[in-house]
Amino acid sequence: MASGARTFCLEVMTPNGPVTAADVSVAVLPAADGELGILAGHAPVVTLLGAGVLAFTDAAGKRVRYWAAGGFAHVRENSVSVLPEECTPLEKLDAAAAGQELDTARALPAGTLDANTRRTLAISTAQAKLRAAGRK
């Protein structure tokens, strides 16, 4: 990493506890409306998380990737708190299990607006997880 490179603190915590905390130079979050790239000094923002790959480059230059889905992120000038409902190191994703999740999601009932919404979200999340499992 170049001398004088600016970093910020990234913390990731799920309902099950802390996942990681690191000084990073860049982070890319799977926001609900697309990817959100963050550098030090980013304008404050709160965003809903979608389903996808959470990636960052630590202060030593190592690229780290996680699967993340749901929740939200809070960006401040020198820190980012990511609070996903689900978060797994990308290398631990199992494509077969993700495929089973997709089959299960497709089998969900879709009779009411509420059920359709749940089914659509479950299918979308499972498809994103299956794609991420292929990117390991």
Neighbours of 55 (CB within 10 A): 19
Fold classification of 8-90 is: ATP Synthase; domain 1 (2.60.15)
pLDDT confidence bin for 5, thresholds 50/70/90: low
Domain ranges of the chain: 8-90, 94-134
Angstrom distance (rounded) from CA 28 to CA 11: 13
Q: What is the pTM of this model?
A: 0.85
Residue 3: the pLDDT is 44
Give me the percent of the chain exceeding a pLDDT of 70.
95
Pick left, alpha or beta for residue 134 (phi over 0 → left; psi -120 to 50 → alpha; otherwise beta).
Answer: alpha
Residue type, 44: P
Average pLDDT over residues 52-80: 95
Question: Each residue of 12-26: pLDDT tens digit?
Answer: 999 999 999 999 999
- What integer is the mean pLDDT of 72-92? 95
Mean pLDDT of 48-56: 96
Alpha carbon distance 5, 23 (integer Å): 11
- pLDDT > 50? residue 62: yes
Position 134 scores a pLDDT of: 83
For residue 108, the SS3 value is coil
Do 46 and 57 touch, CB atoms closer than 8 A?
no
